[in-house]
Structure 1
Amino acid sequence: MVKIAWGITGCGDKIEEIVDMIVELKNEYEDLDVDIYYSKSAEMVLNWYKLMGKLKDTFYNIRKEVNSNAPFLPGMLQTGKYDLFLVAPVTANSVAKIAHGVADTLITNSVAQGAKAMVPTYIYPPDNKKEEIETILPGGKTLKLYIRDTDVENVNILKKMQSITILENVDDIRDVLLKHIKGD
């Protein structure tokens, strides 16, 4: 059994792809146990994209952030309840906080505390390269975004942190989860 804590922040870019992929993996692999922890901003985004129902239909343990310690994900990461911590997608704001040691939300505090216990943490920030990207809004419209230098610099800081692996795209998320599920 692979036990995963999945943290979701208020990032909408690739959220539909990520939810669909993790639901697919959960349905395909009985050995995959996923608990979901989402930020207050993520609740708005999940509802905006009409994904909350899909999560509730598929996963048993779904918890909303109350504060930086509640629900008590940081402690559960440190005491070995989870094999890994996946944060996907993550906002540029949360990346900046993690990069600079700010642990004032459930997700940023959980990354900090999990890292202290050397819990493998995989983070997918869509704002990871200096480029123009297209994100899909609810309803299918596209929106062009221009990734800022400071966002890329913060991602580069995370790449140097112990126990944190930056994932470049949604396929990397699938690869990492399959590696853990299959024990490779």
Structure 2
Amino acid sequence: MKKTVAWGITGAGHFLTSSFRIFDQIKNEHDIRVNTFLSSAAEEVVRMYGLEKDLETISCGDYLEEIFLETQQGKSWPKTGRFLLEKYDALIVTPATSNTVSKIAHGTADSLVSNAVAQAVKGSVPVYVVPVDIAGVVVSELPFGIDRELCRKCNPCPPKDNCPNNAIADQIDLLKCNGCGLCKELCDYNAIKGGPVELKVRDVDTRNVEIIKNLEGITVLEKPEDIPGILADI
């Protein structure tokens, strides 16, 4: 029988592209359906990183392969009721922000993804979580931005004039940016960048990860690349 996995995405850039790559791999290598749940922050971040079209290839829109957006689901999250109806073989949350991990750790279910986790546990659906902040220092990939030390304030400015979403002024408006990368290609001075940055993990976030490791029905994975290894167990 075809397996059905629910994928919860929260608003983190770290692990985002690798999570998409892994789910694309899963779809290509296994007979599996993927039903995606996006937090409101994830809706914005997926767009910033230019991954909206990629998501549509992973969750095509058919039954149990839909894309559910928090901003379109109301406050009662009716679609999470499916976790009580034996529709899913697993819920995988990746990337999971420190905010979402905190909610899971303390039993809060006031967002689409945190509510999905709560309903999945109640429905005995195994939950796998990939936190972005586990311990120590993480290297995260930033969306596109303008390096003001390199910017020559050209007039005309090819990146600004050719941006399909009019997202560029003195800086890049990330709520308009769709992550296409055209601006970076058009800047002659390499002033538009998106790249790695080191971030220190707060001790409170590390403690919350330890809490959810001990919660019934929840397994913590260290990275998205661990996901294919769990498919045989679901």
Provide TM-score, normalisation by structure 2.
0.72
Structure 2 spans left out of the alignment, 5+ residues: 61-65, 145-193
Deviation at 1:86, TM superposition (A): 0.6
| Alignment RMSD | 1.5
- Runs of 4+ aligned structure 1 residues displaced above 3 Å come to none
Cα deviation per residue 1:54-77 (whole Å; 9 max; x = unaligned)?
11133221110134533512x101
CA contact (8 A) 1:64 1:71 kept: no
* Counterpart secondary structure, 1:110: helix
138-147 vs 106-115, which deviates more? Answer: 138-147
CA distance in 2: counterparts of 1:46 and 1:72, whole angstroms = 21
Assess if the C-alpha contact under 8 Å between 1:68 and 1:107 holds in 2.
no
Q: Using structure 1 for the length normalisation, give the TM-score.
A: 0.90
| Structure with the bigger percentage of helix | 1
1:103: which partner in 2? 109
Aligned length: 177
Question: Is 1:38 aligned to 2:29, yes or no?
Answer: no
Change (3 A) 1:58 1:115: closer
**Amino-acid identity (%):** 38
Which of the residues 62, 68, 86 maps onto 2:67? 62
Distance (Å, rounded) in 2 between the aligned partners of 1:95 and 1:58: 24
Answer whether contact 2:23 2:58 (CA < 8 A) is retained: no
Whichever of the two has the greater Rg, that structure is 2
Match of residue 152, structure 1, among 206, 209, 232: 206
CA-CA distance at 1:82 after TM superposition: 0.3
Output the amino acid matched with 1:111.
V
1:115-155 CA-partner distances (Å, limit 9, x unpaired): 122210001002112x1111112354111100010001001
* C-alpha contact 1:68 1:103 (8 A) present in aligned 2: no
Work out whether 1:6 is the aligned partner of 2:36: no
Supply the AA of the counterpart residue of 2:36. I
Contact 2:15 2:223 in 1 (8 A): no
Q: 1:164 is matched with which residue?
A: 218
